[in-house]
Amino acid sequence: MAKKILRTRLCDMLGIEYPILSAGMGPSLVGEKTGAPVELVVAVSEAGGLGVLGAAGYSVDEMIAAIREIKKLTDRPFGVDLLLPGDIVAGGDPPDGGAKEMPLSALLKTLPKAHYEWLVKTREEMSLPEVELMVGLDATTFRPHAAVRACIDEKVPLFCAGLGNPGFMVKDAHAAGMKVLGIAGNAKNARRIAESGADLVVAQGYEGGGHTGRVGSVALWPQAVDAAAPTPVLAAGGIGDGRGVAAALAMGCVGVWVGTRFLASDESGAMDIQKKTILRATDEDTRRTYIYTGKTSRAIYNRFHDLWDKSGLEPLPFPMQVLLASAMVEMFNQAGNEEYVGPFSGQIAGMITEIKPAARILTDMVEEAVDILSRKLPESVVVGG
Ligand SMILES: Cc1cc2nc3c(=O)[nH]c(=O)nc-3n(C[C@H](O)[C@H](O)[C@H](O)COP(=O)(O)O)c2cc1C
């Protein structure tokens, strides 16, 4: 079959063949480094899309090593995604030379008393093991300025800000020949990110996996396109095949940013058990919750959600809630309590029935979108005039 052509102005901006980006997914459980590792980035970029490294769970040095590995494996463009909440960025980086790692048990003692006591009580009641993990305090999230500087020094082709507005680094990134992307969950933030000078805005709807807002994709995409204009917008949240790609392009988006579908690929960093959970999930099996990060994020529903709801506790600010949730999830993991563990995932999980190589996910999407957009419409649709 002849190779399909699917191009938008995004392809010219980024130097890619197809307007499909794999989302920068960080870790969704303790024990994994990232959902979107080097292997996924390279597979997607080599297949003609653009792969984005999920660098939120890395230390700055690990991120630099991963960037250099990608450059060795492909000469195609790629991206790096960081979580940069405004308050953490404004607070500046902690001074160098401090402890690079601390035991989670020591960090947990810095939590508010009620949260710490709840954790201890739950551990005792459920006979869970004490966990002794080392937590990297040199993670990109805790050292946002060093992490951004490293991306600029490495001249990463596309810098992606998963949380927060990347405006503070746009000038330096442009001077290094880079493009900058920010993610928004409503029209107001899409406009703000565009006004801050970013080159691209991702509009991520309510149904997406990971951190997510309150507006559904079909309502959000066209409103974000209007709000961000003339800055181009990519669609995210609920895209799992070529039908989603065609819908996004029909609404005026220049491309798509796809998470959950690429998490269920051979090359993603998700654990096998997480991939299987996604295959089993129906469209109703995810929930939006504050449990994991203190901000609303969507994950596969599991019994940890009920346990947290019953606790009556308020979620802690990001990233303190991450510490609490990480400890809990690791205890459940070590005790083999699988029904208390579920990965970040979007509602599109219900449509995913097969773990595939990332390149095939991408080419299947392209072929189906091209069929639809070249007017091979479903038989039930008649157009003319
Ligand atoms: C496992 C997982 C981890 C994620 N981690 C991040 C992250 O670290 N940074 C980020 O910008 N977005 C993250 N997201 C959100 C994705 O970037 C993307 O916006 C979302 O997955 C799109 O919706 P979809 O899952 O329906 O495709 C994550 C999503 C998933 C499923």
pLDDT attached to residue 1: 63
Q: How far is CA 259 from CA 69, 159, 173, 256, 326, in A?
A: 22, 17, 25, 10, 21
Q: Does residue 208's CB lie within 6 angstroms of at least one atom of ligand 1?
A: yes
Q: How far is CA 63 from CA 58, 81, 269, in A?
A: 6, 10, 15
pLDDT tens digits along 51-109: 999 999 899 999 999 999 999 999 999 999 999 887 778 888 877 766 678 888 888 88
pLDDT tens digits along 27-64: 876 667 799 999 999 999 999 999 999 999 899 999 99
CA of 51 to the centre of ligand 1 (A): 13
Please name the residues in contact with 148: beta carbons below 8 A apart, sequence gap of 6 or more: 82, 84, 159, 169
Atom of ligand 1 minimally distant from the CA of 343: 1
Please name the residues in contact with 369: beta carbons below 8 A apart, sequence gap of 6 or more: 6, 242, 243, 245, 246, 249
Q: What is the C-alpha separation between 66 and 55, in angstroms, rounded?
A: 9
pLDDT tens digits along 358-374: 999 999 999 999 999 99
Which amino acid, 113?
K
Choose which residue among 344, 347, 348, 365 to substitute to test ligand 1 binding: the one with the highest number of ligand atoms within 8 A of its C-beta: 344
Q: Does residue 319's CB lie within 6 angstroms of at least one atom of ligand 1?
A: no
pLDDT attached to residue 189: 97
pLDDT attached to residue 29: 66
Q: Does residue 217's CB lie within 6 angstroms of at least one atom of ligand 1?
A: no
pLDDT attached to residue 89: 81
Q: Does residue 204's CB lie within 6 angstroms of at least one atom of ligand 1?
A: yes
CB 196 within 8 A of CB 165: yes
CA of 263 to the centre of ligand 1 (A): 9
CB 170 within 8 A of CB 180: yes
CA of 129 to the centre of ligand 1 (A): 30
pLDDT attached to residue 209: 97
CA of 162 to the centre of ligand 1 (A): 8
CA of 337 to the centre of ligand 1 (A): 25
CA atoms within 13 A on the CB side of 175: 7
**Residue range(s) in the chain whose domain bears CATH number 3.20.20.70:** 9-99+137-282+354-372
Q: Does residue 300's CB lie within 6 angstroms of at least one atom of ligand 1?
A: no
How many CB atoms are closer than 10 A to CB 177?
9
CB 179 within 8 A of CB 200: yes
Report residues of the chain scoring pLDDT below 50.
none
CATH architecture of 9-99+137-282+354-372: Alpha-Beta Barrel (3.20)
Q: Does residue 55's CB lie within 6 angstroms of at least one atom of ligand 1?
A: no
CA of 214 to the centre of ligand 1 (A): 15
Q: Does residue 259's CB lie within 6 angstroms of at least one atom of ligand 1?
A: yes
CA of 117 to the centre of ligand 1 (A): 31
CA 298 to chain centre: 11
Q: Does residue 23's CB lie within 6 angstroms of at least one atom of ligand 1?
A: yes
pLDDT attached to residue 381: 79
Q: Does residue 358's CB lie within 6 angstroms of at least one atom of ligand 1?
A: no
Which amino acid, 21?
L
Atom of ligand 1 minimally distant from the CA of 205: 23
Nearest protein Cα to ligand 1, atom 8 = 26
Q: What is the C-alpha separation between 192 and 184, in angstroms, rounded?
A: 9
Q: Does residue 83's CB lie within 6 angstroms of at least one atom of ligand 1?
A: yes
Atom of ligand 1 minimally distant from the CA of 57: 8
Helices 320-335, 303-311: inter-axial angle, 10-degree rounding: 130
CA of 217 to the centre of ligand 1 (A): 14
**214 burial level (CB within 10 Å; 0-12, 13-18, 19+):** exposed
Q: Does residue 209's CB lie within 6 angstroms of at least one atom of ligand 1?
A: yes
